[in-house]
Structure 1
Amino acid sequence: MENRVLVVDDNEFMLTLISHILDNEGYQVETYNHAEGLMEQINAYQPNLIILDVQLPDGDGRDLCRQIKQSVQMQDISVVMCSALDDLKDCYNQQSPPDGILQKPFDMRQLINLMCEKLPLAA
């Protein structure tokens, strides 16, 4: 099974950066830049892991994380929340919390280490 990652962020630079890093590490990466249609995108792509920005222009990543984790078809997909918000750790206190948090700004090793840690859970 290929290690498929879906990166959801409205910042094109972040999408390009994360996609490039993960592609170089051998992951199959697809990007998406908004909340609308995300569930359909997940069903079509069937990622093992989703890196999900908290602040999207048309939705809140925390709400999307809850929807993913409460879906019978998607609940086994690892979700890593990504944001520059200081209170990002509060995501762990929400109903149906993410599997991990990536605080922006991050360095390449943080991202790769997180991927190595979380992706086996989904594979």
Structure 2
Amino acid sequence: MAKRILIVDDNELMIEVMTYILLGKGYEVASSTHVHEIFRTIKACHPDLVILDIVNKSMDGRELCRLIKLNRATENLRIIVCSENEETEAQEPQKGAPDDVLHKPFGMNSLIHKVQLLLAA
């Protein structure tokens, strides 16, 4: 069974590009531009991994990551945050921290590598 990835980003073009890349590697992909519905979306699609843009018009991605990681129903969900800030780093295992960071602009190989690493863990 293919691993399922949820992409949450307010940039629809980014969603399209990442979806194309990940579908080409055999993953199932769901997406949302609505961060305020994240828990409903997670419940509906049961992802193995979430790719979350850290800058969002509706809510700060770091805060959203923290909410997902501190929720008992979603605490074990793997999360990659996308950031244009080079100082944003994946932190040592800590409550509310993302599992990895993908720095924008990123290449196809970087995206695939990080996804494969987290889904293999």
The two structures share one fold, judged by TM-score above 0.5:
yes
Tell me the CA shift for residue 73 of structure 1. 1.0
Q: In the alignment, does 2:94 pair up with 1:92?
A: no
Q: Does 1:15 align with 2:10?
A: no
How many angstroms apart in 2 are the aligned matches of 1:67 and 1:49? Answer: 15
User: Aligned partners of 2:87 and 2:41: how far apart in 1?
Assistant: 28
How many equivalent pairs are there?
120
Find the counterpart in structure 2 of residue 27 from structure 1: 27
Give the residue type in structure 1 aligned to 2:67. Q
> Any unmatched runs of 5+ in structure 1?
none
Aligned to 1:80: 80
- Alpha-carbon offset, residue 87 of structure 1: 2.7
Q: CA deviation at 1:13?
A: 1.0
What is the deviation of 1:114? 0.6
Q: CA deviation at 1:30?
A: 0.6
Q: Which residue of 1 aligns with 2:104?
A: 104
* 3-state DSSP of counterpart to 1:97: coil
Say whether the 8 Å CA contact 1:82–1:103 is kept in structure 2: yes
SS at match of 1:74: coil
Percent identity among equivalent residues? 36
Residue identity in the other structure for 1:73:
A
What is the CA RMSD across the aligned residues, in angstroms? 1.5
Q: 2:24 and 2:67 mapped to 1: Cα distance?
A: 30
Residues 34 and 57 of structure 1 are in contact (CA less than 8 Å); yes or no, is this contact kept in structure 2?
no
State the 4+ residue runs in structure 1 displaced beyond 4 angstroms: none
Output one character per residue of 1:25-66: Cα deviation in whole Å (capped at 9) or x when no partner.
000001111311111111111100000000111001111111
Matches within 5 A, 1:44-55: 44-55=44-55
Which sections of structure 2, spanning at least 5 residues, go unmatched? none
State the 1:95 CA deviation: 4.5
2:118 match = 118
Cα distance in 1 for residues equivalent to 2:95 and 2:72: 15
Per the alignment, in what secondary structure is the counterpart of residue 55 of structure 1?
coil
Give the TM-score normalised by structure 1: 0.91
